[in-house]
Structure 1
Amino acid sequence: MSPRTGALVRIACAAVEHVFVQTSAGPFGFIGRLHTDRRRPSLLAVNGSFPQKDYLHDLPDAFPGANVLMVHVPGMGKTPWSGRSAADLTIGLQEAVSLLFRDLPLVVFSASTGNLLALGLTNPNICRRVCVEPFFQTERLWPFIDYARGELERHPKDAGKAQFLWDFFGITPDRLENRDYRHLLDCVTQPTDVVCGSVLLGEPPDDREVIWPSFTLAEEREALAANPLVTLHPSPPGFGHAVAHFQPGKNLVNRLNHGALRAAAELCLPV
């Protein structure tokens, strides 16, 4: 540590180490970097279901001047499924956010399933949001339904995974029940950028070996666009649910997070 940089707390090394925060809804595992020298803008990234290895783990190095933590939905990463509802997990995550970020101006970035927890956060220091591919109903998400049933077939003894897929998505090997999260559309109370894939979700094609389309339904885009705090950013042509995984979609998301962090940095300045 040098006098110029101040103290630094790393909560990740090569994206494999976690700090676990025990909450009323069970543990959450975080990776990232926190600074202790002065008030800095902060970014919380909430990952989705079955993410690619190291997805979003590069964010601390992408924004080295900010406090950046990434958290997995319990059941993903190294955190076991806790058997709690999305609403309960939101409360638990809120407790962890209060502990880790205190009153620092906070940007919440959430991807896919991560939006089901992140959109319900009511921490008063949240000043901006960036949401990638939010979805609010599950029974029409045929690409994920196919994937989930494949996971259940490959891991028939994984009771935690089976419970997660039923609780969050209403999916079993032979049953499908909608999970309705449309109440979260009313939770957007900060300036929010929403990135959606340009390939719209339609009926399942005969050839399922195609790009996953966007999970944000047309009517959900209309509801989001009707909120004056929301700015919709359709992806470049040809991108679906994985819009933030590849260029130029990844650059778009990084630019939006950077802009949100700049706005948060203004709130860190002395009055």
Structure 2
Amino acid sequence: MTDAANVEQRFEVETPFGPVWLWGRDTGRPLVVVATGAFAESWVYDRLQLTLPAVDVVRFHLPSNHCPPLTPNNLGTISRGLTTALQTLFPNRPTAIFGLSTGALVALAVTAPQVRRLVLVEPFLRTAHAWPLHDLPRIARDEAQRELLWNVLGVAEGKIEARDYRHLLDRLSVPTVALVGRTPLGERRRVPAMPSLVDGADRALLQTHPMVHVFELEGGHDVATESLGELFRHVAHAAGAIIADPRRATS
């Protein structure tokens, strides 16, 4: 970032499961949290603050990706760790979480009461049938990442075990946008880019939830690249909603 007011800093919070790291700024404004997916590059969305100057943007990588793993490194501890960090660093701050892929599952599982909006990119709810996930262990860089893949996605070299996160929708109570790719998952095949991991059954479940609006965008799992303008429109709308939230005045 070039503007001194927008330079990122790293926030570290000790939790019962280990340290949680966040990168961003804190000027007291409403908060947009970016929860990235597996193997996200360290710089992903590090300039989003310039696009959303009226809020504070902080970025969260999955533990073991550019930051220490948690113990145990599974979705429950990751979401509880992020919940603890948000309540410690930004108590009572109206918050929207922008979750991508596995980060979308983390966003769904966070229980911090200040979270008022979710924007979820490709929030797959089940893993066993999502065949593109099965190849991820081959690109894991170390044992911590392999443990994360097994615990959260149920995939390891030569081994697949179902992970089912549909129950996270049962407690969803804030307005949520789910952005899913139009390229269907289908059967295992050679494809130029990863298809959507949100199959028809998960898509239907999201569409019938009273708090979720589903939008199909061009592309597959990487709709954040294929439909960047549309993606930013939804994130900017969520940011505007938390700025205008009437509870902000009494928080």
1:108 matched residue in structure 2:
97
2:124 to 111, 135, 144: 135
2:222 matched residue in structure 1:
242
1:89 aligns with 2:75: no
Determine what percentage of the aligned residue pairs are the same residue: 30
Aligned 8 A contact 1:44 1:109 in 2: yes
1:121 aligns with 2:110: yes
Aligned 8 A contact 1:23 1:93 in 2: no
The total of aligned residue pairs comes to: 246
Aligned 8 A contact 2:17 2:70 in 1: no
SS of alignment partner, residue 145 of structure 1 = helix
Q: CA deviation at 1:200?
A: 1.1
Q: CA deviation at 1:81?
A: 5.2
1:214 aligns with 2:199: no
1:145 to 134, 145, 149: 134
Greater fraction helix: 2
Q: CA deviation at 1:178?
A: 1.0
- Flag structure 1 segments of 5+ consecutive residues without an equivalent: 1-7, 13-17
RMSD: 2.1
SS of alignment partner, residue 237 of structure 2 = helix
Q: CA deviation at 1:121?
A: 1.5
Q: Whole-Å Cα distance in 1 between the matches of residues 179 and 67 of structure 2?
A: 27
TM-score (norm 2): 0.90
1:73 matched residue in structure 2:
62
- Flag structure 2 segments of 5+ consecutive residues without an equivalent: none
1:202 to 175, 186, 189: 186
1:169 to 133, 153, 169: 153
SS of alignment partner, residue 244 of structure 1 = helix
1:252 matched residue in structure 2:
230
1:51 aligns with 2:35: no
Q: Rg larger in 1 or in 2? A: 1
Could you give the per-residue CA deviations for residues 31-50 of structure 1, whole angstroms, max 9, x where no partner exists? 111114xxx22111111101
1:233 matched residue in structure 2:
215
SS of alignment partner, residue 33 of structure 2 = strand
What one-letter code is carried by the residue in structure 2 that aligns with 1:62?
T
2:165 matched residue in structure 1:
181
Q: CA deviation at 1:112?
A: 0.4
Aligned 8 A contact 2:19 2:70 in 1: no
Could you give the per-residue CA deviations for residues 81-137 of structure 1, whole angstroms, max 9, x where no partner exists? 543321122111101011122101111111100122210112221111110000111
